[in-house]
Amino acid sequence: MKNILSAAAMTVLLGASAAYAADTKVLDHHVANMKSGDLEAVLSDYAPDAVVVTPAGMVSPNGVFIGKDTRKLFSVLTSKDSLPGNKTMETKYEPLSADTTLMRWVQFKGTPKEVSGYDVFVIRGGKVVFQTVTVNAAKK
């Protein structure tokens, strides 16, 4: 599994282009549908063989979702239990290359429930092919 992730990371780094024209239209669609809890619309943004890596234990023990397994992840993340956080989510995009974007996000901003993090998306042909999810440590 480490080799798959290392290969994906190298592809992201080596595939960087000088022209930073990230596809934020896909990300705008993704965020809007996460906020509304529309599972099928969220899944429509992902390539059939997409890889999504989350913190271990967030939804599964190893945190790696490949292809059809992404349905399990996004079923949890678009569920009625997740919607309150999703609806409050604020995002900022930082293009890293022609196909790679860093998305910083925060939910419940300015409240005791605040949670933040960042995702790195690789988008090719109008579909997410790779995504990592990082959740920042809670403020004490």
Q: What CATH number does residue 111 fall under?
A: 3.10.450.50
What local confidence, expressed as pLDDT, does residue 137 receive? Answer: 83
Domain assignment present for residue 2? The answer is no
d(CA 36, CA 56): 25
Contact 94, 101 (CB under 8 A): yes
The answer to whether residue 11 is domain-embedded is: no
Q: Are 17 and 99 in contact (CB under 8 A)?
A: yes
**Is there a domain that residue 40 lies in?**
yes
- Name the residue range of residue 33's domain: 20-135
- Residue 111 φ/ψ, nearest 5 degrees: -120, 170
Q: According to the model, what pLDDT value does residue 17 have?
A: 41
Q: What is the reported pLDDT for 110?
A: 94
Q: For residue 14, is it within any domain? A: no
CA gap 75, 40 in Å, rounded: 9
> Is the residue at 27 inside a domain?
yes
Q: How many domains does the chain have?
A: 1
For position 40, what pLDDT does the model report?
98
Residue 37 belongs to some domain of the structure: yes
Write phi, then psi, for 61 (nearest 5 degrees): -60, -40
Predicted confidence (pLDDT) per residue in 14-28, tens digit = 444 434 455 789 999
| Regions of the chain short of the pLDDT cut 70 | 1-22, 140
In the prediction, which pLDDT does 138 show? 77
Q: Tell me, yes or no, whether 102 lies in a domain.
A: yes
Residue 85 dihedral angles phi and psi, to the nearest 5°? -70, -45
45 domain-assigned:
yes
Q: Please give the Cα distance from 46 to 42 (Å, whole number).
A: 8
